[in-house]
Structure 1
Amino acid sequence: MRVLLLALRRLAASLPTLFVVLAGLFLLLQLAPGDTVDALVAQMGGGDPVMMEELRRYYGLDVSVAVQLGRYIWRLLQLDLGFSAIYGKPVSAVILERLPATLLLMMSALSFAFAGGMALGVLAARKVNRWPDTLISTLGLIFYATPSFWFGLMGIVIFAVNLGWLPAGSFEEIGAGYTGFRRALDIAWHLFLPTLTLALIFLATYLRIMRASMLEVLNLEFVRTARAKGLSPGRVVRRHVLRNALLPMVTLIGLQAGTMLGGSIVVESVFALPGLGRLAYESVVQRDLNTLLGIVFVSALLVIAVNFIVDLLYARLDPRIVT
């Protein structure tokens, strides 16, 4: 119960930050040239000034920035994300259409990066200063230093174009009409390369953090005591070292949730995935302010939810933080 109360307090403290971020982004976007009406007129091939003024009045763009911001915050308090002039439907409907692809990509990439980084970090720490440690550390440095879009493009060239093993992009086979388990397999097959592309940079971070944390915990007194009692090296790692070494890894999940959402913009653009990242890019280009702010709002909620879960996990791993 105390763990839940602690997490709820931190959750409540993050809500004012959410509104400050949205208000700051709203004001920042006002500095960019043009607005939604300009984008609409450009798509239509032109329009007269009278029509443009009517459109601005219809979409509430004829008032001051302060009034627009006040109206937006008031709608947001009512969980109304507004209307997308570019897509011709409520922003919530547009986001719900794109959210599943981003959630699947983010969850699969985060799971792969965490599990792979933990396994490689443990192996590197147990083989410290030997060839497995050197190889893993070198690969981690390469993964961290290489841009994700380059991994994606090379993956498409090698595995999709040259070898033909994997699809080059999209979320699923268009027009195949798969359902049930067959559709799930098709989506997983299409997400393999995007997941690997997004996860490699984060995997490199996790393995380096896990290696350093393992080496630190291995030198603590309670670990030496466990070894002196005659416990096997594997049991010492599983029961005494791993739980304490995981604390920085769990913390890093919450810190990198937002970074991973930002990285999905590049990955979704490279692989033509219909997710929130690609939608954010399209909204910026088309000056669809309501949709962009809605994406930021939903993304912030996702980050808050991830950090809420991280707080619960952290309290489970280290009960001292709730005392």
Structure 2
Amino acid sequence: MTLTVHLFQRLANAVALLLAVIVLNFCLIHLAPGDPVQVIAGEMGGASAEVVAALRAKYGLDHSLLEQLVTYLGKIATGDFGYSYYFNEPVLSLIQQRIPATLLLAFAALVLAVLIGTTLGIISARRPNGLVSHAVTLLSLAGYSAPIFWTGLMLLLLFGSIWPILPVSGMTDVVNPKTGLAYLVDVLQHLVLPSLTLALVFMAQYSRLARVNMIDVLSADYIRTARAKGLSETVVVFKHALRNALIPIVTIIGLQFGNLFAGAVVVETVFSWPGMGRLVFDSILRRDYPTLMAVLFFSALMVMVSNIVTDLVYRLIDPRIRVGTK
């Protein structure tokens, strides 16, 4: 079985799973308590029965659940995600406006967590009983146990009041808008606290995982052989040991992408980051079914894509793994 055939099979499985996710999300959201028409009518200050009926007809809520599902699937197939009840604009336009900010935050946090967490794990693994190893373990436990929103609030308090050297709200400076390179620097400055908040939890996990795997790999026979040949410790650690120790870490990266996205939603709310977080929050409160289902659709899509990419990277890191072998 070639890599191309394997990739095709994974894509086919992903499409089937995505269809199941769409159907499940649709049914759960529409069966949940609450009525979007009543929410809209309440924001209008009340509405007559005729207006309520007109709203139901406008949004297709006057049909049975099965008819609504069939209609929705047909629209999804053509790339039509519907019209937002609350924002009063196409849902796809809302997603396109906000998803880049969420992806930027998620990937920045992922890079920080993997690089710093893996580095700390490698350092502590070289001397498992040393002071540095115990300090890394303590910091990892603290970072893992602290809730994301609490960490964000503490950083917001620290850098917003006690030591105000970084922006604590938004993605750019709306008072003094910038362009060009100054705009990029402004975005990066606003990105520091949200990405660090989100990275701390996952950084703790990667440091612990890297430490455990590096300790296991460094005790292997081929590592002792490499040292016996007179190779430097740097070559032994980074060329021979690290490659095998990275395999579980790469696997966890793909599996935890959904958690990373969920954490980004919380962080965006704390730091007023203009991504999907506030969009999800408003959609839930207003029973904005089309927007909420679209957000869940793209979330599931990103998780599936990350799993497929992880599978490919897994094979690149370890040449022993071949498609079709057990």
TM over 0.5: yes
Q: Give unpaired runs (5+ residues) of structure 1.
A: none
Partner of 2:185: 185
Partners of 1:30 and 1:99 in 2: how far apart?
24
**Aligned-partner residue type, residue 27 of structure 1:** C
Instruction: Report which stretch shifted further, 157-166 or 29-38.
Output: 29-38
SS in 1 for 2:256: helix
Partners of 2:103 and 2:59 in 1: how far apart?
31
Partners of 1:97 and 1:42 in 2: how far apart?
28
- Counterpart check, 1:94 vs 2:132: no
Partner of 1:129: 129
Partner of 1:269: 269
**Aligned-partner residue type, residue 180 of structure 2:** G
Contact 1:7/1:311 (<8 A) preserved: no
Instruction: Report which stretch shifted further, 168-177 or 151-160.
Output: 168-177
| 1:255-290 Cα distance to aligned partner (Å, 9 max, x none) | 110001111121111111111122111101110000
Contact 2:21/2:300 (<8 A) preserved: no
| 1:141-161 Cα distance to aligned partner (Å, 9 max, x none) | 000000011111111111111
- Counterpart check, 1:116 vs 2:138: no
Partners of 1:8 and 1:221 in 2: how far apart?
38
SS in 2 for 1:112: helix
Contact 2:108/2:195 (<8 A) preserved: yes
For 1:63-102, what aligned pairs fall within 5 Å after superposition?
63-102=63-102
Partners of 1:179 and 1:36 in 2: how far apart?
40
For 1:183-262, what aligned pairs fall within 5 Å after superposition?
183-262=183-262
**Paired-residue identity, %:** 42
SS in 1 for 2:321: helix
Partner of 2:32: 32
SS in 2 for 1:320: coil
| 1:57-79 Cα distance to aligned partner (Å, 9 max, x none) | 11100001111111111211222
**Aligned-partner residue type, residue 64 of structure 1:** S
The list of structure 1 runs, each at least 4 consecutive aligned residues, that deviate by more than 4 angstroms after superposition, is none
Distance 1:194-1:262 versus aligned 2 partners, 3 A rule: same
Partner of 1:321: 321
For 1:135-146, what aligned pairs fall within 5 Å after superposition?
135-146=135-146
Deviation at 1:4, TM superposition (A): 4.4
Partners of 2:273 and 2:286 in 1: how far apart?
18
Q: Give unpaired runs (5+ residues) of structure 2.
A: none
Contact 1:171/1:190 (<8 A) preserved: yes
TM-score (norm 2): 0.96
Deviation at 1:40, TM superposition (A): 1.4
Deviation at 1:123, TM superposition (A): 0.3
For 1:13-24, what aligned pairs fall within 5 Å after superposition?
13-24=13-24
Deviation at 1:208, TM superposition (A): 0.5
Contact 2:156/2:168 (<8 A) preserved: yes
SS in 2 for 1:89: coil
| 1:112-163 Cα distance to aligned partner (Å, 9 max, x none) | 0000111001001012111110000110000000001111111111111121
Instruction: Report which stretch shifted further, 218-227 or 246-255.
Output: 218-227
Contact 2:75/2:81 (<8 A) preserved: yes
Partner of 1:153: 153
TM-score (norm 1): 0.97
Partners of 1:15 and 1:277 in 2: how far apart?
26
Partner of 2:299: 299
SS in 2 for 1:166: coil
| 1:228-278 Cα distance to aligned partner (Å, 9 max, x none) | 211111111111101100000100110110001111121111111111122
**Aligned-partner residue type, residue 200 of structure 1:** L
**Aligned-partner residue type, residue 318 of structure 2:** D
